[in-house]
Structure 1
Amino acid sequence: MSLAYLIVGIVLALMLLVSARAKLTRNQQLVDGLTGLGVPLKMFPFLAACEIAGAVGLVIGIWWAPLGIAAAIGVVLYFVGAVGTHLRRSDFKGAPNAAVMLLLAVAVLILRVLSA
């Protein structure tokens, strides 16, 4: 396992947990943004659970590479969906945030695969 994966993986895991918390506590700014994209409130717990699972998988993946790789793939797919949702709705203000998270997730995946 590389130091780069350790750092970037933990940073991404923390960002995922912050995002999940915002969804679970129904942060008004987040609620307004996501419902404006057509995401129903009933999906928030599921989306938060996906983010929490990804974060946990990335952290456990520090010691068990197959789980780290699987978690990174899941997080990449999650953010591909997020970027797609923003672009489909022509939300060019929110798309860059999702794109940054996608790029970070891709970096984590590459680092984990290379250090496995």
Structure 2
Amino acid sequence: MFVLAVILSLVTAAVFAAAGLAKVQGAKQMRDAAAHLGIPWDNYRLIGVAELVAAAALVIGIWLGWLGVLAALCLTLLMIGALVLHNRAHDTVQAMAPAIGVGVLALVTLLVRIAA
């Protein structure tokens, strides 16, 4: 179970690190997403910082188990918030699919981290 927790933690960290980096760097797609969701750009950039911190915490959490669980929990909650915002923006399920997929990844990582 520990090996699965490590693999999931690394994959989840990579996904969120890429998304967080794109937000922090101000990629056009991220600026467009912020505008679509009605989030001021500076606040959206802070979400990217949170994603980067959580990604690092997932990796460090391989050695400090509680930190990995906490990071996975925070990312799961972050993605629930993203789904709420997508819903408020009247997005289709297809438009929400990336947030759903990444949210499920974070939740599975959380559950496996707890079990390990």
Normalization by structure 1: what TM-score?
0.93
Aligned to 2:105: 104
Alignment correspondent of 1:86 = 86
User: 1-side partners of 2:57 and 2:105: how far apart?
Assistant: 15
Deviation at 1:12, TM superposition (A): 0.8
Tell me the residue number matched to 2:32: 32
Contact persistence 2:9–2:59 (CA under 8 A): yes
What is the TM-score with the length of structure 2 in the denominator?
Answer: 0.93
Gaps of 5+ in 1: none
Q: Which residue of 2 aligns with 1:70?
A: 70
Count of matched residue positions in the alignment of Structure 1 and Structure 2: 115
Stretches (4+) displaced over 6 A: none
Aligned-CA RMSD value: 1.2
- By how many angstroms is 1:5 displaced? 1.1
Q: Distance in 1 between matches of 2:16 and 2:62?
A: 16
State how far apart, in whole Å, the 1-side matches of 2:95 and 2:64 are. Answer: 34
Question: For structure 2, which runs of at least 5 residues remain unmatched after alignment?
Answer: none
